Amino acid sequence: REACEARGCTWCSSDVPNAPWCFFPENSPYGYARSGSPEQTDKGWRVTLNKRQALSLFGNDISPIVFEVEFQTKDRLRFRLYDPNAQRFEVPLKIDGPGVTAEEANYEVEF
């Protein structure tokens, strides 16, 4: 607990199996924040994320990044994070789904 709070994180014990007890608070200077409104695409949603501040936990952060959500089947969602300004390696795995709408899916996506 002490190490968690010393990093500026939030500590919250839980009875839920595998739930993290140490996590970044909402107002954390780390991570990314949404830039603008989500854009609806043919298969789901797309949103641009920008790095929150100059602080970095791992180094070589990319900003901006794009987060895409694709509704593939009623029970399967695909998400993808990528650099819109530079091509990078992506696992060459193509999984096509029939494409469903958010209303048909058995899950919800919130931004």
Residue 2: CA count within 13 A, CB half-sphere: 0
pTM: 0.75
| pLDDT the model gives residue 9 | 87
Same domain, 76 and 38: yes
CA distance 105 to 77: 9
Cβ neighbours of residue 31 under 8 Å, at least 6 residues apart?
24, 51, 52
Same domain, 2 and 53: no
Q: Residue 47: which of 23, 66, 72, 22 has the closest Cα?
A: 66
Q: Where are the beta strands (DSSP E) in 12-92?
A: 22-23, 32-40, 44-51, 65-73, 76-82
What percent of the chain clears pLDDT 70, i.e. is strictly above it?
100
CA distance 33 to 50: 6
Number of domains composing the chain = 2
Q: Report how many helices (DSSP H) and strands (DSSP E) the chain contains, helices first.
A: 1, 6
Same domain, 50 and 71: yes
- Asked whether residue 92 is domain-assigned, the answer is no
- Asked whether residue 90 is domain-assigned, the answer is no
pLDDT digits (tens, 9 = 90+) for 36-58: 999 999 889 999 999 988 777 77
The residue segments making up the domain with residue 6 are 1-29
